[in-house]
């Protein structure tokens, strides 16, 4: 799964996954890299190193054109495909997230909405009303909860079917955040984290 584990000279981690997709699509990935905690007994301070990265790939698989992929559209056709795939994805996510919010009885006026793939933006931009250090702490705790409640169950599942990207709702008063997603039994999960 990874190359260079334990080799201090190699700072790259390589992960390869194989899966089938039979249609044109937009793949998105977000990673969270975490380096251990250092405890300072003098001022009860805990420090860690963390970094988020993301990547995206558009794959066009159409009977009317050759199979191709791109990250950033260069041709007119690629721009049209990007627009079409983004529109389709956004319609699907909007529909699913509206249903989740309704089922969870959440007042949307009280929250900012952040798709999981957009959380990487806060690696260099603080959450509204917070410092970058406070934001880093919140994001680190968010990833801990996601790892335990979302990533591990998917990683341990025998078969992954139709997972829709989680939605993060950040309270406008910086009191808490909520993560909504459906688990493998198609039940709505609602994780709440204090900010």
pLDDT of residue 195 exceeding 70:
yes
At residue 134, what are phi and psi to the nearest 5 degrees?
Answer: -65, -40
Q: What is the pLDDT of residue 156?
A: 81
Does residue 50 contact residue 32 with C-beta atoms inside 8 Å? yes
- pLDDT tens digits for range 73-113: 999 999 999 999 999 999 999 999 999 999 999 999 999 99
Check the CA dihedral 89-123-15-161 and report its sign: negative
Provide the b/e sequence for 155-189 (b: ≥16 CB within 10 Å).
Answer: eeeeeeeeeebbbbbbeeeeeebbbbbbeeeeeeb
Prediction pTM value: 0.79
Q: How far apart are CA 143 and CA 166, in angstroms?
A: 12
> Three-state DSSP class for 90?
helix
Overall residue count recorded for the chain in this entry? 195
Q: In this model, does residue 69 exceed pLDDT 80?
A: yes
Which residues are CB-neighbours of 51 under 8 A, at least 6 positions away?
32, 33, 123
CA distances from 70 to 19, 55, 77, 193 (A): 18, 11, 11, 36
Please check whether residue 143 is in contact with residue 34, taking contact to mean a CB–CB distance below 8 angstroms.
Answer: yes
Is 186's pLDDT higher than 70?
yes
Residue 44 predicted with pLDDT over 70: no
Residue 71 has pLDDT above 90, yes or no: yes
Average pLDDT for the chain: 85
> How far apart are the C-alpha atoms of 187 and 190, rounded to whole Å?
10
């Amino acid at each position: 799964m990874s190359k260079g584990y334990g080799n201090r000279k190699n700072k790259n981690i390589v992960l390869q996954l194989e899966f089938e997709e039979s249609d044109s699509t937009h793949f998105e990935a977000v990673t969270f890299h975490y380096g251990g905690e250092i405890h300072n007994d003098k001022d009860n301070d805990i420090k860690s190193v963390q970094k988020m990265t993301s990547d995206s790939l558009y794959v066009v698989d159409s009977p009317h054109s050759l199979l191709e992929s791109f990250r950033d559209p260069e041709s007119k056709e690629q721009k049209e495909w990007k627009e079409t795939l983004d529109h389709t994805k956004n319609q699907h996510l909007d529909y699913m997230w509206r249903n989740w919010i309704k089922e969870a009885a959440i007042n949307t006026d009280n929250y900012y909405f952040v798709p999981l793939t957009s959380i990487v933006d806060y690696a260099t931009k603080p959450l509204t009303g917070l410092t970058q250090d406070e934001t880093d702490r919140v994001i680190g705790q968010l990833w801990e909860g996601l790892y335990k409640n979302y990533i591990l169950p998917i990683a341990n599942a025998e078969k992954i079917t139709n997972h829709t990207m989680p939605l993060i709702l950040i309270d406008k008063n910086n009191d808490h955040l909520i993560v909504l997603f459906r688990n493998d039994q198609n039940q709505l999960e609602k994780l709440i984290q204090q900010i």
